[in-house]
């Protein structure tokens, strides 16, 4: 318990927030926050971008809300301010909150969102699961809106082996979150096995649904079937001291990730590759780009065949869920296009600079 308190204080200090609530995973922290804000017997919407990890909309549903999907911009793949405004106008007072992720580590347009928050009166959750602030004190990451989420799971910039947190400046909400967490199960072997089954089914259904659209119907049962996957207390196996040490080393991790991203941006020079725009706050999760090669369903396997680990995350969310009546008035053209052309390459310690350069040459040759 003392180690977790030390960790919470460390994360709060890093993000310049007053309080930190650390728990089993970021989705658990999100669930506790959303549950603490839920009004009884009222239909409420939470707006999220249509390109995002499924754990977010699944958690929204588990907390009693309905997700509304908005488009992304194609400059850095984050939430589109214009699409968000459309959704706010269409959905009106049903919108309780907006979750805006720094997707792939790219910083979203927080100035526009903060202005809209003031006008439309919704709570804003900054999803910083795929990034982390450096120690310069200049980064806005971790202190935007009403609450901020961090994740320390597998593949994240700070890979502590699991765990996540929400950061707030309201002590009463933190206390409420802790009460909610006490009712959740402890992490166990069951959760590990459930995650394995989820991954197996996710990839089968995702890929087959692109060939056979009727497979989309199988997607809609995922939130209920895998409900227990998203909410649990901290695992006893989690090495808290190791996570604290990694946070202290975050500047070295950030510097290396940025360096590797620049190499990808320079060396991937095929004419059919489209690179994202980076900002000063960008701390890349993976190197994410678009290929104009027919679609990712065809190119990703070809890249894997030449020995390169590549992923087409994320697929569009609107095909995975039962949609609200208002959703049809919110165009999602950019996210639909993006989901057909996105590719991700690794930036972590398992890939050296020389290996990255070699992989870039292979991909350029493949895309000729």
> What's the CATH number where 114 sits?
3.40.640.10
Nearest to 331 by CA among 116, 122, 87: 87
Whether residue 59 sits in one domain with residue 206: yes
First-to-final CA distance of the chain: 56
Question: What pLDDT is recorded for position 281?
Answer: 83
> Cα–Cα distance between 332 and 90 in angstroms, integer?
14
DSSP 315: -
Whether residue 349 sits in one domain with residue 203: no
How many folded domains does the chain comprise?
2
Whether residue 168 sits in one domain with residue 101: yes
Question: What pLDDT is recorded for position 325?
Answer: 97
Question: What pLDDT is recorded for position 324?
Answer: 97
Whether residue 262 sits in one domain with residue 115: no
Whether residue 155 sits in one domain with residue 289: no
> Cα–Cα distance between 276 and 202 in angstroms, integer?
27
Question: What pLDDT is recorded for position 270?
Answer: 93
Whether residue 228 sits in one domain with residue 270: no
Whether residue 35 sits in one domain with residue 181: yes
Whether residue 166 sits in one domain with residue 42: yes
The helix (H) or strand (E) run that includes residue 47 is: strand 45-49
* Helix 26-37 × helix 55-62 angle, to 10°: 30
Whether residue 286 sits in one domain with residue 138: no
Question: What pLDDT is recorded for position 294?
Answer: 65
Last residue of a domain, one of 241, 260, 275: 241
Whether residue 211 sits in one domain with residue 69: yes
> Cα–Cα distance between 273 and 293 in angstroms, integer?
8
| 124 phi and psi angles, rounded to 5 deg | -115, 120
Task: Give the count of beta carbons closer than 10 Å to the beta carbon of residue 41.
Answer: 4
Question: What pLDDT is recorded for position 255?
Answer: 95
Strand ordering across the sheet containing 342-345: 273-274, 287-291, 342-345
Give 235's Cβ-side CA count (13 Å radius): 17
Provide DSSP, 267-290: H---TTEEPPPP-TT---SSEEEE
In order of 8, 121, 168, the CA distances from 233 in angstroms are 15, 32, 19
Question: What pLDDT is recorded for position 136?
Answer: 83
The answer to whether 199 touches 233, Cβ cutoff 8 Å, is no
CB-based contacts of 301, cutoff 8 Å, min separation 6: none
Last residue of a domain, one of 241, 273, 301: 241
What digits encode the pLDDT tens for the residues 182-228? 999 999 999 999 999 999 999 899 888 888 989 989 999 999 999 99
DSSP 108: P
Question: What pLDDT is recorded for position 295?
Answer: 57
Give the residue numbers spanning the domain of 60: 2-241
Whether residue 253 sits in one domain with residue 237: no
Last residue of a domain, one of 241, 264, 296: 241
Residue 321: is the preceding peptide bond cis (ω within 30°)? Answer: no
Residues of the chain scoring pLDDT < 50: none
């Amino acid at each position: 318990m003392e180690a977790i308190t030390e960790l919470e204080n460390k994360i709060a200090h890093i993000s310049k927030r007053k309080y930190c609530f650390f728990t089993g995973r970021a989705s658990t922290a999100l669930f506790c926050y959303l549950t603490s804000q839920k009004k009884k017997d009222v239909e409420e919407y939470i707006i999220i971008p249509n390109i995002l990890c499924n754990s977010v909309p699944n958690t929204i549903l588990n907390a009693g809300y309905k997700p509304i999907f908005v488009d992304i911009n194609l400059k850095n793949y984050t939430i589109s301010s214009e699409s968000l405004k459309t959704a706010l106008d269409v959905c009106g007072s049903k919108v309780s909150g907006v979750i805006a992720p720094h997707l792939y580590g790219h910083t979203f347009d927080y100035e526009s969102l903060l202005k809209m928050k003031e006008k439309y009166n919704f709570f804003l959750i900054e999803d910083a699961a795929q990034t982390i602030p450096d120690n310069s004190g200049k980064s806005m990451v971790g202190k935007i809106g009403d609450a901020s989420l961090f994740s320390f799971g597998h593949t994240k910039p700070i890979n502590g082996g699991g765990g996540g947190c929400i950061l707030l400046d309201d002590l009463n909400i933190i206390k409420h979150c802790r009460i909610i967490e006490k009712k959740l199960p402890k992490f166990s072997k069951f959760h590990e096995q459930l995650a394995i089954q989820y991954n197996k089914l996710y990839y089968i259904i995702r890929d087959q649904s692109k060939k056979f659209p009727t497979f989309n119907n199988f997607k809609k049962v995922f939130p209920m079937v895998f409900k227990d996957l998203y909410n649990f207390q901290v695992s006893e196996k989690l090495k808290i001291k190791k996570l604290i040490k990694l946070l202290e080393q975050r500047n070295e991790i950030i510097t290396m990730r940025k360096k590797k991203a620049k190499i990808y941006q320079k060396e991937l020079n095929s004419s059919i590759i489209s690179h994202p725009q980076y900002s000063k706050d960008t701390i890349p999760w993976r190197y994410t780009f678009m290929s104009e090669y027919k679609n990712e369903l065809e190119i990703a396997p070809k890249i894997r065949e030449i020995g390169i680990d590549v992923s087409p995350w994320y697929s569009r969310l609107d095909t995975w869920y039962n949609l609200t009546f208002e959703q049809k008035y919110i165009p999602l053209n950019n996210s639909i296009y993006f989901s057909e052309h996105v590719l991700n390459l690794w930036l972590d310690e398992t890939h050296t600079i020389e290996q990255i350069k070699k992989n870039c040459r292979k991909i350029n040759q493949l895309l000729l």
